Amino acid sequence: MKFSDISKPSSDLLGNDYCSNVTLKAKGLSAGPVSVSIETERSAAGTLSSKIGGKFAYAGLNFDKLEAHADGSNVLETSLVPCPGCKMTFKAKKGADLGLEYTAGKMTTTGSLDVLNMSKFSTSACIGVSPAINLGGDLSYNLSGDKAGLSSYNVG
């Protein structure tokens, strides 16, 4: 569990929009080792917008999300486990982030670097001090521009 995930269930319950969008989803279509999903959504104006996605693994490299949207945008999320407890990630949508997650026992640490603009580094750590108590913190550091330096931090 990451420090930022502690309040996730209550945030999802309070923050999710429960509305009446018309959406068609087809998941789990299998084309050999590739899993394919298709989603089409109808807007209030009646236009249809679709996206197609997939996921697969090859030689230890996981392509967790590959998406092509109707507006021409794409999403790529990959992960690699170089050793037990360590996971490297790459996520690209509007930006590109290179991440590292390390778990050992009751401790989890994460790090993320914006590799597209080289503008931000973020890290977090969480340790379970007892079955019901987690202690953690996170910080963000701006690497470039007028606001270079420590931009935010939390401990809890």
- Model pLDDT for residues 100-154, shown as the tens digit of each residue: 999 999 999 999 999 999 999 999 999 999 888 999 999 999 998 888 999 999 9
- In this predicted structure, what is the pLDDT of residue 12? 64
The answer to whether 118 and 95 are in contact (CB under 8 A) is no
- In this predicted structure, what is the pLDDT of residue 131? 86
Measure the N-to-C terminal CA separation of the chain; round to a whole number of Å.
Answer: 14
In terms of C-beta density within 10 A (0-12 exposed, 13-18 middle, 19 or more buried), how is residue 56 classed? middle
pLDDT-derived band of residue 11, with 50, 70 and 90 as boundaries? low
Among 89, 95, 58, 104, residue whose Cα is nearest residue 75 = 95
CA distance 132 to 116: 39
Beta bridge partners of 123: 111, 139
- In this predicted structure, what is the pLDDT of residue 21? 66
pTM above 0.85, yes or no: no
- In this predicted structure, what is the pLDDT of residue 46? 81
Pairing of strands 107-114, 149-155: unpaired
The answer to whether 138 and 123 are in contact (CB under 8 A) is yes
